[in-house]
Structure 1
């Protein structure tokens, strides 16, 4: 198992809903917990993954996600069992959409 941490500053969109979980930890999938948190305007992401050694790919996917949503004061926890970057992006977008009350 590997734990990766990312922090993105200067977000503009704040989420106010209750914490939400999307996805299911299982073979080739992941779960995402997203919640509002007082982080001085930052978005903090912690990833626990069974796929060791993919830090640069995770960083690229997280940067792309942050550029799409520009979240502020948001904590995201990801438990991964080897999901592909496309599945990671899908689940993270679902988590934000759930917090915003948008249809999936």
Structure 2
């Protein structure tokens, strides 16, 4: 298991909490809690060693959309593909956008 933390400038504020995925599914779980800060902090626990570059690249691509809300995100990854990871992350962002 590898643990890492990433931080990105937030481009918007939202409110609430959201959850996407189920950690026991063999996939991944993403929990997001909004705050009124100026950054998105991401704590990742993953079963895939040496994956910080992959996670950094994924969030860099998402940041290009201008869609990073301020808050704290926890990711519990058990080998999800980058496509599934992006879907789960976008699901929590969508949910808090409508809170």
State the TM-score, normalizing by the size of structure 1. Answer: 0.84
Gap regions ≥5 residues in structure 1: none
- The equivalent residue for 1:6 is 6
The question of whether the paired residues in 1 share the 8 Å contact of 2:62 and 2:68 is answered with: no
TM-score scaled to structure 2, two decimals?
0.88
- Superposed counterparts of 1:13-52, under 5 Å: 13-16=12-15, 18-26=16-24, 28-39=26-37, 41-52=38-49
Check whether the contact 1:33–1:78 (CA below 8 A) recurs between aligned residues. yes
8 Å CA contact 1:28, 1:84 repeated in 2? no
Structure 1 match to 2:77: 80
Q: Specify the SS of the correspondent of 1:43.
A: strand
**Structure 2 unaligned regions, length at least 5:** none
Please point out which of 36, 54, 58 is paired with 2:55.
Answer: 58
Q: What's the C-alpha RMSD, in Å, of the aligned pairs?
A: 1.8
Aligned residues: 99
